[in-house]
Amino acid sequence: MKNLNELSQAAHENAVKHGWWESDPSIEHCLMLVVTEVAEMVEADRAGRYSNLERTNIGPATNTMRENLREAIETSKSFHGVFESFIKNTVEDEMADVVIRLLDLAGRLGIDFDKFSPNKYHRAFDRFSFTENAFALTKGLCRENINIFKRIQFGIHYVSEWAKCRGFHLDWHVRAKMRYNATRPLKHGKKY
């Protein structure tokens, strides 16, 4: 993913505008919301919900088809409705939510990603089931013996590499979801 500091600042600013930080929630609260996004990602996979950017009704989408649909979504006057029709509640959308929640927390904590050495964690995602990969992500995020900065970096790196392995354009999905989130009501209509 490109320019994590810029994305982190934008994600956090939007979260503040939408009331997510009104009560100054704990790190554990924030990580639990990340874990719920991981669970939603698993549920999307179980239901076979993948974005129409990745598949068509005749099989896998070509790069040209993906780019054309991405451009149509980005330039649509009714972005919100088009996003809901093609992207919302899919595996890719939930992966983006995991990253956005981690970026938001990084923004709250003032993390400067440029000061981190590259994350060297490697996983052969294709050797494990979807649920096993999701569980490994959850375990890594919840390891209290590792500082929160490294756990956030790990989570973003892990989801980025997993998305790459699956052929998803995660950077685009994160930016599109951030644009969509900017149009939503306070706390997205939820209690917390």
| Distance, CA of 173 to CA of 94 (rounded, Å) | 9
DSSP state of 65: H
At residue 47, the pLDDT reads: 97
- In tens, the pLDDT along 17-53 reads 999 999 999 999 999 999 999 999 999 999 999 987 6
At residue 56, the pLDDT reads: 47
The region of weakest confidence among 54-58, 100-104, 110-114, 125-129 is 54-58
Answer whether 99's CB lies under 8 Å from 33's CB. no
What's the pTM value of the predicted model, to 2 decimals? 0.88
**65 confidence band (pLDDT: 50, 70, 90):** low
Residue that wins the pLDDT comparison between 104 and 73: 104
Answer whether 154's CB lies under 8 Å from 140's CB. yes
Please state the separation of Cα 21 from the chain's center in Å.
Answer: 19
* Amino acid at residue number 187: K
Residue that wins the pLDDT comparison between 76 and 128: 128
| Distance, CA of 130 to CA of 132 (rounded, Å) | 6
Answer whether 123's CB lies under 8 Å from 136's CB. yes
The region of weakest confidence among 72-76, 103-107, 143-147 is 72-76
Please state the separation of Cα 124 from the chain's center in Å.
Answer: 20
Domain boundaries of the chain, sorted by first residue: 4-51+88-189
